[in-house]
A and B are shown apart, each in its own frame.
Chain A
């Protein structure tokens, strides 16, 4: 009678098989697979959000430059304020061009905490030249309007920035 224990508490020496081991190994393999998958997905997510941040920063900087150009156009044409054109006010325009301003150095001095910055200077005075003594024979440009250099810097997101772009452009209203 002591040998027959069909169910329940069998003695320790009667246990055989490796179900528990196999199950544990399977579990480890599945966990590894899951972790790898998570890491791959996380990496892809980071890659695409980096791409997105770069694109957004570029478009934002372009938008800011365009906004400043809108202000300059209003000032030059003396037209009324356009809603949204508020990147800068008139006193912020640098009227002298030989100020030593240089876009690469300016943008390099800013960092993500700056978030949004725009510099406008009038470069009309620095464009003199390319004329000859026979003035009037072939006017290269008789446009009396000034020429501006607009340099904008902006990040992708204003509250939590991850990327920044600087755009330097010449604008003639």
Chain B
């Protein structure tokens, strides 16, 4: 009886074949959408799992989230005060400026590293169980959001200390920070397939992000004089990071055009990165070391 009733219902059917998923774009798009929806609960579970495990195993707990930005910012505050480097004028007191910049930078870097990190950590799970792969990325994003939330607490403390007014406009920086995170996620996701196979990607990323920090207006205002101003055009992180800081301090975007162009391109590339991740993962799973 149960057999019949079950059989009569149309069961969802999947087909695995060697043909590229791009040959049937409509099926592919539906699949991506469905997997994204299906992966929400799992992603949330994984997020709770990772965060609670992380803090259960640590005595200092969330304090660790505060140290890196404070340390980096302190270095530049000292360098600037001693006139070892000359930063120039900033809209808000330099310590607050540097601190804000470093927190944003760190959030960007965390987002950048998170996809490859989470996939590498879950290699065993990926190679043994078929679950919507989007869950890993979504969970990585949620965990970065959690980290952001903690870091925002420092920023609020800094703003209060330096008596920078916090208004409704200040909240406008939140969408900008979100875009900054998605930008990092896009870069990270684009690198993930190659990074699954070759460890070179992880190694190279550490060096590149170290250099990237210096060509991004994190601890200094965006340069306006000619050769250096090019950096803001080549480096997509600059306008977004500066934009977020401008919105927080002044409530306005100084340079809206590059900000919106980069945001638009970012969304396009995010979808491309997602498609690449989804299509290549089954090919990479059979070849990666677990």
A, B bound: no
